């Protein structure tokens, strides 16, 4: 897993690639929660993520909870079909904001 | 005329609780399914199922810090219509029936959402069948999944 971060229209975008699983969840947690802890508004670009297991869902849930607790926001976009299926089974598509495109994600962040 | 029996390829792995070794086992499972003719997406979906099962055993089957091993058997049967996969894990840890676990509340609000139990929910939803038995002091857990060969537009949304 790899994460690059950029700023666009006043929002942060974490562009994630690879797997978010048991082996990478620790690195994912530190890379994907540092900014939301500070109340930043962050979009996760999931278009290069082909695999999210329950260990990865845990990181997403943590990021969403931290965002809420710190008056920030997290929006995901670009989920591949197999990843979307995992979010649907777990019901995470109802507690985490998921948008189709980067533009929609940035609009949802209201930046 | 010789009858063409379905080709079954089997993989047997002896795993420790070491995360690096588990990762290698998952790589081997995914590669095995690809070689058996499973599509990339399908091999990855099954890797996810395997990850949830083996990490659960590695973490929870024995007291923390103890060294133990368990086996993972994977059989992939290439049929004309698709690939049939069966994975069985055998461990001598504490009795644990994955099929008897309560499903987590997937409708809870964000604040109340927990991650416990999600792994086994994914296993149940992403396989066609699960079977558990406690035999001779061992947990024996099998899952099966059939991956049809891709037809046109077979992955439409719902």
Q: How confident is the model at residue B157 (pLDDT cuts 50, 70, 90)?
A: very low
Map out the domains of chain B with their CATH numbers: 7-148 (3.30.565.10)
How far is the alpha carbon of A19 from chain B, nearest alpha carbon, in Å?
A: 10
Is residue A28 classed as helix, strand or coil in its secondary structure?
Answer: helix
Token output for A96: 């985490």
The predicted complex's ipTM stands at 0.93
pLDDT digits (tens, 9 = 90+) for B83-110: 999 999 999 999 999 999 888 888 888 8
- Compute the distance between CA of residue A16 and CA of residue A63 in angstroms, rounded to an integer: 14
Q: What is the mean pLDDT of chain A?
A: 95
| pLDDT for residue B4 | 63
Is the per-residue pLDDT at B1 higher than 70?
Answer: no
CATH of domain A2-99: 3.30.750.24
- Compute the distance between CA of residue A10 and CA of residue A16 in angstroms, rounded to an integer: 19
Is the per-residue pLDDT at A8 higher than 60?
Answer: yes
Is the per-residue pLDDT at B155 higher than 80?
Answer: no
Mean pLDDT for the stretch of residues A51-66: 95
Is A57 part of the contact surface with chain B (CB cutoff 8 Å)?
Answer: yes
Q: How confident is the model at residue B151 (pLDDT cuts 50, 70, 90)?
A: low
| pLDDT for residue B153 | 46
Q: Parallel, antiparallel, or unpaired: how do β-strands B82-91 and B138-148 relate?
A: antiparallel
How far is the alpha carbon of B92 from chain A, nearest alpha carbon, in Å?
A: 23
| pLDDT for residue B65 | 93
**Interface probe, candidates B29, B30, B48, B119, chain A, greatest A C-beta count within 10 A:** B48
Whole-Å CA distances, B103 to B72, B96, B126: 25, 15, 14
Q: How many CB pairs under 8 A join A and B?
A: 68
Which of A21-25, B3-7, B115-119 is the least confident region?
Answer: B3-7
**Interface probe, candidates A50, A53, A79, chain B, greatest B C-beta count within 10 A:** A53
- Compute the distance between CA of residue B3 and CA of residue A73 in angstroms, rounded to an integer: 61
Beta strands in B2-99 (DSSP E): 7-15, 70-79, 82-91
How remote is the C-alpha of B128 from its chain's centroid? Answer: 11
Question: For the stretch B6-23, what's the b/e string if a residue is b when 16 or more beta carbons lie within 10 angstroms of its beta carbon?
Answer: eeeeebebebebeeebbb
How far is the alpha carbon of B120 from chain A, nearest alpha carbon, in Å?
A: 9
- Compute the distance between CA of residue A13 and CA of residue A19 in angstroms, rounded to an integer: 18
| pLDDT for residue B158 | 43
pLDDT digits (tens, 9 = 90+) for B41-95: 999 999 999 999 999 999 999 999 999 999 999 999 999 999 999 999 999 999 9
CB-based contact B93:B60 (threshold 8 Å): yes
- Compute the distance between CA of residue B88 and CA of residue A95 in angstroms, rounded to an integer: 34
Is the Cα dihedral B59, B60, B65, B68 positive or negative? negative
Indicate the helix (H) or strand (E) that contains B142.
strand B138-148
Looking at beta carbons, which residues of chain B come within 8 Å of A65? 110-111, 113
Angle at B115 between CA B100 and CA B143, to 5 degrees: 40
């Amino acid at each position: 897993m790899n994460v690059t971060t950029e700023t666009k229209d006043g929002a942060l975008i974490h562009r994630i690639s690879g797997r978010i699983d048991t082996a990478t969840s620790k690195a994912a947690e530190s890379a994907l929660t540092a900014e939301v802890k500070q109340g930043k508004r962050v979009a996760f670009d999931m278009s290069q993520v082909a695999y999210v297991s329950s260990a990865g869902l845990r990181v997403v849930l943590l990021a969403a909870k931290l965002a809420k607790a710190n008056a920030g926001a997290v929006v995901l976009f670009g989920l591949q079909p197999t990843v979307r299926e995992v979010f649907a089974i777990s019901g995470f598509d109802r507690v985490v904001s998921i948008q189709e495109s980067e533009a929609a994600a940035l609009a949802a962040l209201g930046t | 005329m010789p009858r063409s029996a379905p080709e079954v390829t089997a993989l047997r792995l002896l795993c420790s609780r070491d995360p690096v070794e588990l990762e290698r086992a998952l790589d081997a499972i995914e590669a095995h399914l690809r070689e058996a003719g499973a599509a990339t997406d399908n091999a990855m979906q099954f890797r996810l199922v395997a990850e949830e099962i083996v990490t659960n055993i590695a973490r929870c089957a024995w007291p923390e810090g103890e060294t133990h091993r368990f086996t993972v058997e994977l059989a992939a049967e290439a049929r004309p219509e698709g690939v049939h996969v069966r994975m069985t894990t055998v461990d001598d840890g504490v009795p644990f029936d994955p099929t008897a676990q309560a499903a987590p509340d997937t409708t809870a609000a964000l604040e109340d959402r927990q991650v416990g139990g999600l792994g086994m929910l994914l296993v149940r939803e992403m396989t066609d069948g699960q079977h558990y038995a406690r035999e001779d002091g061992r947990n024996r857990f099998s899952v099966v999944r059939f991956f049809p060969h891709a037809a046109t537009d077979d992955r439409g949304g719902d």
